[in-house]
Amino acid sequence: MAGAIPVCRDQAPKLIKEVRDSTGWSIRRVSLNTRNPERGTPDLWEVRTLVDFNIRAAAGEKPEVLEKSEIVTENGKQVFRYMKALPVADVCLKCHGPAEGLDADLKAKLAETYPHDRATGYSSGQIRGALTVIRPL
């Protein structure tokens, strides 16, 4: 069970890095409740967008279609910003579901690697976070 951690820890960031390297865009995964705060802490635009996604989902929009794009000025330069919500599916629950339901082995491993883990307690259909892209114009 704990052996599955590398998919979300290593593979997803690796895929993202490949796209980043080939395009020069900044691409990350962010969340309001991070597991890895070093990689996943949102900036102000991202916090606002994540909050907005939660509001839109609560108002009945499907989490899997939530996205936002905007051209903004940052440090005097125009950039294109894009975010797409990452909804919680059943498959995510074994690592992001309620802490008391997690496999003991996995839980110990998570606690060791991620002392500041806030990414448990989710249920299916909630918004876990988002993919975020910044593209220079």
Interacting residues toward ligand HEC by CB under 6 A: 4-5, 7-9, 13, 29, 31, 34-36, 39-40, 86, 88-89, 91-92, 94-96, 119, 128-129
Contact status, residue 66 vs residue 128, Cβ threshold 8 Å = no
Reading the block at residue 44, the tokens are 């102000």
> 7 vs 51, which CB is nearer to ligand HEC?
7
> Quick one: CA dihedral 97, 99, 101, 102, positive or negative?
positive
For residues 51 and 71, which CB has a smaller minimum distance to ligand HEC in the complex?
51
Confirm if 99 and 121 have CB atoms less than 8 A apart: yes
Least CB distance to ligand HEC at residue 101 (A): 13
CB nearer ligand HEC, residue 38 or residue 137: 38
CB of 57 to ligand HEC, least distance (A): 14
Query: Nearest approach, Cβ of 77 to ligand HEC (angstroms)?
Result: 26
Q: How far is the CB of 94 from ligand HEC (least distance, A)?
A: 5
Burial of 28 (0-12, 13-18, 19+ CB in 10 A): buried
- Which of 71/89 has CB closer to ligand HEC? 89
**Cα separations (Å) of 84 from 41, 109, 111?**
16, 29, 28
64 vs 107: CA distance, rounded Å: 28
- Smallest distance from ligand HEC to CB 5, Å: 5
Nearer to ligand HEC, 119 or 133 (CB): 119
Contact 66, 85 (CB under 8 A): yes
